Every structure is written in C-alpha cells, then in structure tokens.
Structure 1
C-alpha cells in the first residue's frame, strides 16, 4: 500500500489534567504535556505507516521551530515528508489541547500554513505509483480543486478517500460537493454527517451523501463505533471497550485502520472493525502516535477485546 496523504498537517500539544485556566498570571500543575503529529492528513499518515503502509505526506508547513518538530516526528514514524512545502509567510499549523479530568478537550488552534496550501504546491509527478490518495481537509482547497486532485489520482489507478476537518453544515457541503463524485470513501464523523445533510438519522445522512456520488460513507460515532453505508447496504460496527485517556486523533486512526483493511483485501465490515480497533489504541493515550501498536498487535487486540 503506497499512500499519498494530502492536506492538513498539525502539531498538537496535549495538556492532561487541566481543571481550569489559571487566574491572571498564576500557574497550575498538570499531569502531563506531550507533542504529537496530527491533522486529517498528518495523523492518518502516521497511523497508516505504523500499520505497514508506505506513506508520503503532501501539504504545507512554515519555516519555524514548530515545523522542525512536526517534520521530525513524522519522519520518526517513517513518513516521507519531502512533499511538505515551506511557507515562509505562515506559521506551521498547531493546536493546544487541554484535556480535563472528565475527558473533555477544548482546543486552541492556529490554521497557519494549512490555509496557504494550493494544488500549485503539489508536484503531480510525485504521485506516480501510488495505490491510494487520502485528502484530509478538502475545505481548504475547495471542492473544484479537490475534485481535480482526486480525479487525477483515480487516473493513476489509485483509490481515493476524503476526510473533512470543519464542522458540517449545508454551506460546507456545497463548498466541497465537486469533490464527492471522485471520492471512493468518505470518512466523516457523525456530527459532520448530520450537519452537512440536515438528516434526522445518521443512516439517512450517510445515504444522502451517497447521492452526491460518493462510493462508500464510513462514519465514526465515538463510543458507538462506526456506521458504513453503500448503495447496497448500511450496517454498524461497535467500538471496543477500553479506558479512554484522550480521544484526540481517534477519527484519523479509524480512517487509517479502515483504509489499511481495504488495502489488505478485507471487506467493508472487516475494514471498519480494524478502524475501530486502531482507534481504541489511540484512545488509550495522547494523540495518533500514542503507545506502540502494529497491524499484528491490533489484530490480536481485536480478537480478544470486549465490545461496547
């Protein structure tokens, strides 16, 4: 599996044990602070690499210490970062995520270089030989440009997938609609599906997105697992019962597991089950690079772990 992950790459700073924001200039002790590569392209790429795929990243970063850290972390995970262009005028995209004792995780985010990335920054020749193109954050490119990129990937014989970053609403659906007929697998979360379509149920919303030309819609539902919809069937796959530390990156982990499963020849249900099993690994730590897992260890976990 040779994957191009295109789009949003972020450096996340997780702060665990934040009970409140200190008053004035006061300080507060927390349990842990960690850094991890993230984003609908970056986070998915890290997990795909851990699962045995060959991953090349395409997007934009700044020329700052955040970029050096993010590139080093991605490279450490085996991701080829030569396709990440430098934008001197923009800082590297970054988030600070204070995780409260109950698991809630508000965030501060700087869009930075992700908002400056265009198709002109991507060498289409570098995509030769890929088996898969995953576009994370098509809203930054817009549907017309995203559609051209996905169509080009298909012309190379590659499978395409798409994951949104922004919350869903009908205007966002209109903005990215041109990309959907070129998308083999759409990988949103439940809130995005309901917001994009205005549907009364998740299944109805997923089927409404199929009407826009998507081949398959695989929706994450948090603790409820995932729902998969095609023109022929709609089914759900339960999540695994684990002690959750932080859910940041779980959606990206599901996407990676799902796509890896398909590349290995598993059917849609088997791919969604692998996606849920990988997401369970990430939920037990901080970010997509949490803990240590491989395809073999995740498969073993899936065979023995209880479901919700």
Structure 2
C-alpha cells in the first residue's frame, strides 16, 4: 500500500515546567492572563504531525510519501527523513519562510500550553495532489492531517475526485475550521481520526450527531489516551482496544501521531482494524517513553513483547511476520 501523509512539518521546542499551571491561574482573572513559567528543561526536536506520522510509517518498513510545506531551513531535516525511509520529493520548500514552529510547555501533571507558528506551512495549499499521485504512479490512501486549512480542503477534494481513499485527521485545526469546512473534510472519508475532546468538538462544528457522522464516514477511530481507543462504524457496536501501559511517560507529545502510523501500517498489512489499533497503541507507548516525537528506537522484539503482554500471543503472532 502506498500511503501519502499530508500535514504539518515543524520544529518542536519542548519545555518542562516543574510546577502546575493550575497553581498559577486565578479563575476570576482568566480574561487578563499575563504569566511566565520558568522551565527547567528545553529540547529542540523535529516534528509536525505529517512528518511524525510519515516517520513512524517508515520506521515500520513502509515508504510513505510526505506531502507538506517546509522552509528554507528544511535541508538537514529533509535529509534525516529521507534516511529514515520517507519520500520527501513532494515537500514544497518555501524560498523565503521558515519551517513551522511548535513551542510547548508541559507541567508535572502532563498538562500542556502550546503555541504554533505556521511559517512555510501557509504554502501547503499550493501543492497539487494529482501531481503527487502521478509522480509515484498511484496512491492507495492519503491521510489528511492538520495543515493549512486550504491545503486540507484542497487535498480532500482532489483525493475524492481521483478516487483515492481518505483518512481524515483534522485534529487541532478543528479550532480554525468552520462548520461547512469541517463537513467537507470528513464526508466520504474511509477513516476518521479524533481524540476524545476533538470528537465532541467535531459534533459541535458539524452540527451532526455521532450517528450522522458515522453515516458519512467509514470507521471513526477515537483515541482516549490511557483509556485506549474506540473503533466505531455505522453498523455494529463500538469496539474498544485498551492502551498499552507505559513504564513511564517521558513526553506526551507525538503519541497520537505514532498511533496513527501503527494503525495505518497495520491496515497496509491487511490486519483487522482491531489488530491495527493494537499495533498503534504499542507504538504510541514507545513514543511516550521517549522525549521528542521522532527520537525513539524501534526494536521489533520489544514492540512484539508489548503486544504480547497486553493483547496476547495470538495478536503478537499475527503482527510478527511484518516486523521482521
């Protein structure tokens, strides 16, 4: 299966605040917040949801096509992605803007406050998915992740016109999309990804009930952090996949992207949706135990051991041939 991954390409500035944000917030003054948090750790990492998912797919042995816009500083980052196995030839490199920046501070209870600078991502709408498909001689799936809204809408429309199955993953861009845009992004999607909070926001944005959303999509995958994952369709009862427990959470950033990579890899191997979700949960835990979204080491034996412990020997046996 040839998978295109559209979405942001960014540099992450990850900081850790040893206290609690809640201790600094005064409920009556939240409309006039002016706060500074003294962080005791800073890590500068490469990230962005599109790049993170593509990196995870490559780590699992696929050759994903990254579709996004980066800046004049993309050279070393692009080389690293290519070395990992990501096809970056469809990345648009801006001649004047910097690659997007994600600045995130995490407190000791893993609450996060973040700011995102779009930078070169603003040019993602200039990429034509038809050109990408022609270059790689066909695409079997495109995941439309968080990106410049015009790019997300254009890629979705082009994919439907070309008959390319879509995995809709609007995530944090739901805050910027209006109702009509959101409905256009998810209608006709074979897969729909949200986390638990985004699922409620999605219903509000579209004005549709859960049943009405399911009537317009294929499988709706809702990630619930330590609560696992729900798989929902218009037919049949929801299925629940428990999360793989983490020995420790070093950094919560990127766990959802890793889940998506594992899930899509599992589908490309013709695993069931439930088994693909189990693989995604196992990979997400590997990332949670690492600092940064692309800094993890992926050892097949260790990944299989996680699957075995959480889901049983049969699950590990079905996944094992693909991790050799």
TM-score (norm: length of structure 1): 0.83
Contact 1:281-1:290 within 8 A present in 2 as well: no
Aligned to 1:13: 13
Contact 1:47-1:288 within 8 A present in 2 as well: no
Mapped pair 1:36 → 2:46: yes
Q: Where does 1:72-91 land on structure 2 (aligned, <5 Å)?
A: 72-91=79-98
Contact 2:9-2:48 within 8 A present in 1 as well: yes
Q: Cα RMSD between the aligned structures? A: 3.0
Looking at structure 2, the residues matched to 256 and 130 of structure 1 have their Cα atoms a distance apart, in angstroms, of 16
Contact 1:168-1:193 within 8 A present in 2 as well: no
> CA 1:269–1:3 in structure 2 vs 1: closer, same or farther (change >3 Å)?
same
Q: Which runs of 5+ in 1 are unaligned?
A: none
Q: Equivalent of 1:178, from 184, 187, 190?
A: 184
Mapped pair 1:3 → 2:3: yes
Mapped pair 1:210 → 2:214: yes
Q: Where does 1:59-74 land on structure 2 (aligned, <5 Å)?
A: 59-64=68-73, 67-74=74-81
- Shift, 1:299, TM fit: 2.6
Q: Equivalent of 1:150, from 148, 151, 159?
A: 159
> CA 1:29–1:191 in structure 2 vs 1: closer, same or farther (change >3 Å)?
closer
- Shift, 1:133, TM fit: 1.5
Mapped pair 1:93 → 2:97: no
Mapped pair 1:226 → 2:229: yes
TM-score (norm: length of structure 2): 0.79
- Shift, 1:273, TM fit: 1.2
Looking at structure 1, the residues matched to 75 and 173 of structure 2 have their Cα atoms a distance apart, in angstroms, of 29
Which shows bigger deviation, 5-14 or 184-193? 5-14
Which shows bigger deviation, 113-122 or 270-279? 113-122
Larger Rg: 2
